[in-house]
């Protein structure tokens, strides 16, 4: 089966050939010049990371490594530019492979002279580089090889961040900072010491910032809004300049998103990633990482997105943002990347020696990363330079602990997982074997520890998978465990093909009906619900909604601010509607209507509501620019479309018939002559097998029995004309004593601020047998009353 265009367009930027991974801590600590403050609920003394020792007088440092033969803790009084204040050897617990030490606060402040935030990192020795007492920073004493037969890649000249650090001091690369070579191994770089320049973990003070009451709404009732936390406000003059592009700025937009109808804000990655250098060349794109799919640390909120950059500032400000969204009734989802990390692959093809060492690779390479069968290189079947070894207990625990931190401490309600099939891999090295049922995969361990939200709503977590990657065996749409929802590319591509590829790609009425009704072919047999299908037409990587209907192909090699960007799929199922602007807007109205009128969970992308354009760039991963930032300066047509989108969202939210907890049935449960869901040809008859299977039939209608689906309208009718010419629809019965009233017709003749009628102003159409002429490529929405 061909891979979806969404996945094929994946392009996550790296530090040239350097990729970086960094870490974060599950705990807490130094309160600044005043001294150490224990958390309100002290972390377990067995927790990994850096945290209060339970007495308030010391800090425990705990780190996992099954392969190291020596690990030293390095403590710093500053994030960069100075040497360590202390060097302490950790002790290993052979039963758990956990290395630890405890440092009294009095010693930190007195002997070591650290009276402010504590910055820390680790140096590690192992079989490929055993400890030699004569070793000094920048020497090769003890060196045997850059990688040994077991895959170990220890190098004590590289200061490593704690995979459980709660915040990072800075990115590996910073404006005016050192080149990537200080993080490299191999003959040229292995003896380069980077302690003064490398990122450090930060021991955090206790934080009691509240995140508010989590919404318990069912996922089926959500309107998911995928957006970049920086791009949401970076170009918004209503937000104070100091807060534009930050968590605090995003918090100020919660009420406006709620007014649009958004119920779940899905932020692109907010875990630490290499992007400190994005502003080094304000109009350049080389090496820029805007989307953030190269995780340096799985616990730390991205410091660049915080207006408060002091120690603990990003954590506090992120939690304040979450509270603002919760107060507005909006869930907070985050896009997370646990399939790979920023340390990446080899710097040069075929070179087994030269890799980046930032944290996990330098602590326990075979535990944290999938390697080739000879253990000499990263295993990569996803196109992003090396899979995480998600079947190893240490990595699986790291993922689960990280998610628990974001859920319980930072207040997040749900997660969207990048290239999620990697979390179902059951092969540690040299292969990829996905399993839906193995209880020891990361997928199943996650939901066992943190159950999914019930389909009807309540306490739980919303788990959403991007159910594909690039390699063999990674396309798993419809094959995730119970408790998971999935981005449904079959919905996306079926609608795109019908709208944009008539005559070149076949779509039958049966194909359309299956997607509109919740994709039962993918989810019902396994006992999953319609909400498992996250329906979408566009996402961050690919065309915007406007460009889907305005571009015949990608145009990524533009000048700033719309490019240049490399990569991007050549298969987009897009069409410019003959270059007619009114038809482009009509096509967008149709696509959005079908999204809002389909069973499942709809997801839109930030800016869809006003037809944001990237001028046909379909892979804007590196554009930290005004092209990628949302705007509030709309043209008249954009404002009109925003009103249309807002009202269509409101209609969906007002009509439970569109948001079923279970798959529809044609059964007439109350004897009123209507099934819960009935399908019709334009002639008003039930489609037969010939009609269902004929791709030359481009029109379909359906009716919901509101009386059986808890809807305020006794019936809801949708007519869809995918044909280029007019089609007459004979309307079915609206129910005894009822007539049909028009909510919207997406045709160009009706374009305007009232294209979607406000409740109570719907136009009378007629009863059963009324013929309604629907113009080409348009959607009709009626209610009975």
Residues with catalytic function? 418, 466
**Residue among 275, 385, 264 at smallest CA distance from 335:** 264
Report the alpha-carbon distance of residue 248 to residue 445 in Å, rounded: 33
Give, as one character, the DSSP assignment of residue 214: P
Cα angle vertex 517, ends 516, 523, to 5°? 115
DSSP 285-323: -TT--SS--SBS-SSSBPGGG-S--STTHHHHHHHHHHH
CB neighbourhood size of 98 (10 A): 17
Token pair 């907070």 in the structure block, residue: 332
Backbone φ and ψ of 747, nearest 5°: -60, 155
Q: Which two tokens stand for residue 627?
A: 């092209």
Query: CA 533: distance to chain centroid?
Result: 16
DSSP 342-389: TT-S-SSTT-SS--B-SSHHHHHHHHHB-B-TTSSSB--SSSSS--B-
CB neighbourhood size of 69 (10 A): 15
Helices and strands of the chain, counted as H and E runs: 16, 24
DSSP 737-779: T--EEEEEE-SGGG-STTSBPPTT-PEEEESTT-EEEEPSSEE
Q: Is 600 left (phi over 0), alpha (psi -120 to 50) or beta?
A: left
Asked if residue 531 lies in contact with residue 500, where contact means CB atoms within 8 angstroms, the answer is no
Q: Which two tokens stand for residue 732?
A: 């079915």
Beta bridge partners of 479: none
Asked if residue 415 lies in contact with residue 336, where contact means CB atoms within 8 angstroms, the answer is yes
């Amino acid at each position: 089966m061909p891979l979806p265009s969404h996945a094929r367009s994946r392009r996550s930027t790296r530090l040239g050939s350097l990729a970086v991974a960094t870490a974060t801590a599950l705990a807490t600590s130094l309160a600044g010049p005043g001294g150490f403050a224990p958390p309100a609920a002290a972390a377990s003394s067995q927790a990994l990371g850096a945290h209060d020792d339970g007495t308030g007088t010391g800090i425990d440092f705990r780190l996992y490594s099954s392969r190291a033969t020596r690990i030293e803790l390095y403590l710093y009084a500053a994030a960069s530019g100075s040497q360590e204040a202390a060097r302490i050897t950790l002790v290993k617990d052979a039963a758990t492979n956990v290395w630890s030490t405890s440092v009294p606060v009095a010693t930190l402040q007195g002997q070591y002279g650290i009276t402010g935030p504590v910055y820390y990192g680790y140096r590690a020795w192992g079989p490929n580089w055993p400890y030699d007492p004569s070793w000094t920073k920048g020497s090769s004493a003890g060196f045997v090889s850059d990688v040994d037969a077991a895959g170990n890649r220890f190098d004590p000249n590289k200061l490593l961040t704690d995979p459980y650090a709660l915040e990072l001091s800075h990115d590996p690369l910073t404006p005016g900072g050192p080149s990537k070579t200080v993080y490299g191994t191999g003959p040229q770089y292995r003896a380069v010491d980077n302690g003064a320049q490398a990122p450090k973990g930060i021991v955090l003070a206790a934080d009691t910032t509240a995140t508010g009451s989590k919404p318990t709404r069912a996922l089926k009732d959500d309107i998911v809004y995928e957006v970049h936390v920086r791009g949401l406000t970076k170009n918004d003059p209503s937000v104070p300049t100091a807060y534009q592009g930050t968590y605090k700025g995003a918090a100020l937009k919660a009420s406006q998103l709620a007014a649009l109808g958004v119920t779940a804000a899905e932020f692109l990655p907010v875990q630490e990633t290499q992007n400190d250098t994005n502003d080094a060349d304000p109009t350049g794109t080389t090496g820029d990482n805007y989307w953030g799919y190269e995780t340096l640390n799985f616990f730390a909120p991205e410091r660049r997105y915080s207006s408060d950059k002091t120690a603990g500032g990003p954590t506090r400000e992120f939690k304040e943002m979450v509270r603002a969204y919760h107060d507005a009734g909006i869930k907070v989802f985050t896009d997370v990347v646990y399939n790979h990390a920023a340390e990446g692959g080899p710097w040069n093809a075929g070179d087994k020696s030269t890799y980046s060492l930032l944290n996990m690779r330098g602590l326990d390479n075979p535990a944290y990363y999938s390697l080739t069968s000879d253990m000499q290189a990263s295993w990569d079947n996803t196109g992003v330079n090396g899979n995480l070894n998600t079947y190893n207990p240490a990595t699986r625990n790291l993922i689960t602990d990280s998610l628990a931190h974001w859920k319980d401490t930072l207040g997040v309600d749900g997660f969207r997982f990048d290239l999620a099939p990697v979390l179902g891999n059951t092969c540690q090295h040299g292969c990829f074997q996905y399993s839906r049922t193995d209880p020891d995969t990361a997928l199943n361990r996650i939901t066992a520890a943190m159950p999914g939200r019930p389909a009807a709503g309540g306490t739980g977590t919303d788990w959403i998978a991007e159910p594909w990657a690039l390699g063999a065996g990674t396309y798993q749409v419809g094959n995730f465990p119970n408790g998971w929802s999935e981005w449904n590319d079959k919905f996306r591509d079926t609608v795109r093909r019908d709208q944009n590829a008539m005559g070149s790609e076949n779509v039958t009425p049966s194909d359309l009906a299956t997607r509109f009704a919740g994709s039962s072919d993918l989810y019902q047999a396994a006992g999953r619900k319609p909400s498992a299908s996250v329906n979408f037409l566009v996402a961050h990587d690919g065309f915007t909604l406007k460009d889907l209907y305005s571009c015949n192909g990608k145009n990524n090699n533009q000048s700033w601010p719309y490019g240049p960007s490399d990569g991007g799929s050549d298969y987009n199922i897009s069409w410019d509607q003959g270059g007619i602007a009114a038809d482009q807007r009509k096509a967008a109205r149709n696509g959005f209507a079908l999204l809002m009128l389909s069973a499942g969970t709809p997801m839109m992308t930030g800016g869809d509501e006003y037809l944001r354009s990237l001028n046909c760039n379909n892979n804007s991963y590196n554009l930290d620019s005004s092209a990628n930032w949302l705007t509030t300066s709309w043209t008249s047509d954009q404002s009109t479309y925003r009103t249309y989108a807002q009202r269509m969202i409101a209609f969906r939210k007002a009509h439970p018939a569109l948001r079923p907890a279970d798959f529809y049935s044609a059964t007439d449960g109350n004897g009123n002559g209507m099934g819960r869901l009935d399908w019709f040809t334009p002639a008003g008859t039930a489609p037969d097998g010939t009609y269902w299977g004929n791709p030359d039939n481009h029109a379909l209608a359906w009716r919901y029995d509101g009386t059986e689906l808890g809807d305020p309208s006794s019936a809801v009718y949708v007519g869809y004309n995918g044909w280029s010419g007019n089609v007459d629809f004979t309307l079915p019965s609206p129910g005894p004593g009822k007539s049909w009233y028009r909510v919207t017709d997406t045709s160009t003749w009706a374009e305007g601020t009232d294209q979607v009628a406000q409740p109570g102003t719907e136009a009378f159409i007629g009863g059963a047998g009324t013929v309604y002429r629907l113009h080409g490529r348009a959607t009709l929405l009626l209610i009975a009353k």
